[in-house]
Chains A and B, each alone.
Chain A
Amino acid sequence: DAGVTQSPTHLIKTRGQHVTLRCSPISGHKSVSWYQQVLGQGPQFIFQYYEKEERGRGNFPDRFSARQFPNYSSELNVNALLLGDSALYLCASSSAPGTLSSYEQYFGPGTRLTVT
């Protein structure tokens, strides 16, 4: 079975531009979470989606938005890019919530975003 997939793998953008990152979860997983990881730090939670609804939001500005589609894939959008948005953006999938084991998250390879 394929793991979590993300696209693109690398991206270079200019300040002020907009970016869309994409994620497909593990087959059978219905929950997708997005994280930002700056070099030398642990991942920081941005959003969690389950069944197309936002289940959680981290401490990120409104320039960050996301959505989940009926096939459980997800997009993360970032508007008005700043230099500080340069990071590795990680998508993680997990099965439907309700049991302890459903909180095991599996990460995709990430998208490396560089803002110049």
Chain B
Amino acid sequence: QKEVEQNSGPLSVPEGAIASLNCTYSDRGSQSFFWYRQYSGKSPELIMFIYSNGDKEDGRFTAQLNKASQYVSLLIRDSQPSDSATYLCAVNNYGQNFVFGPGTRLSVLP
């Protein structure tokens, strides 16, 4: 059974701080890793994807991947109240279905 685990939260950070979201996965064959943001009552929105070990930066977001540890994280710098949402981690193994984690609720306090 392929599993993706996330801390359900809520994770509360003050405005302007760095939010760190973590995800672990069980399938060593996983090749691609995705972070989605989901506002309450809305559908998931793709934020970032990463395929190679190391860091990938896009604006205020940085995804980090460590395949040996089966660990992927998302850092959000200069957190804003508008970043308050549930963040979903998803993994994929070339053409097979995506497996999503349960999501982490992030609350950015003004």
Which chain A residues have a beta carbon within 8 Å of chain B's beta carbons? 33, 35, 40-45, 48, 55-56, 58, 88, 90, 92, 97, 100, 103-110
Q: Which residues of B contact A33 (CB under 8 A)?
A: 97-98
A sample of 22 inter-chain contacts (CB < 8 A) reads A35-B100, A41-B103, A42-B90, A42-B101, A43-B88, A43-B98, A48-B97, A55-B95, A56-B96, A88-B43, A90-B43, A92-B98, A100-B31, A103-B32, A103-B95, A104-B34, A105-B46, A107-B36, A107-B43, A107-B46, A109-B43, A110-B43
B97–A105 touching, CB < 8 Å: no
Contacting A42 at CB < 8 Å: which of B32, B43, B88, B95? Answer: B88
The verdict on A42 contacting B102 (CB below 8 Å), with A48-B97, A100-B31, A109-B43 known, is yes
CB neighbours of A48 from chain B (8 A): 97
The answer on a CB contact under 8 Å between B98 and A97 is no
CB within 8 Å of A: which residues of B? 4, 31-32, 34, 36, 42-46, 49, 51, 88, 90, 92, 94-103
Name the CB-closest residue of B to A46: B97
Question: Which A residue's beta carbon lies closest to that of B94?
Answer: A103
Quick one: closest B residue to A42, CB to CB? B100
Given A42-B100, A45-B99, A97-B95: A109 touches B31 (CB 8 Å cut-off): no
Task: Name the A residues within 8 Å of B44 (CB-CB).
Answer: 43, 90, 107
Residues of B within 8 A of A107 (CB): 36, 43-46
Q: By the criterion CB–CB under 8 Å, are B97 and A58 in contact?
A: yes
Contacts A42-B88, A43-B88, A110-B43 given: A105-B98 contact, CB under 8 Å? yes
Closest chain B CB from A5 CB (angstroms): 11
Query: A100 and B103 in contact (CB under 8 A), knowing A90-B44, A107-B44?
Result: no
- Docked Cα-Cα span, A109 to B38, in Å, equals 11
From the candidates A43, A55, A106, name the one contacting B100 in the complex (CB within 8 A): A43
Q: Which residue of A lies closest to B6 (CB)?
A: A42
Residues of chain A within 8 A (CB-CB) of B46 are: 104-107
Contact B43 A104 (CB under 8 A): no
Closest 6 CB pairs of A and B: A42-B100, A45-B97, A107-B43, A110-B43, A56-B97, A43-B100
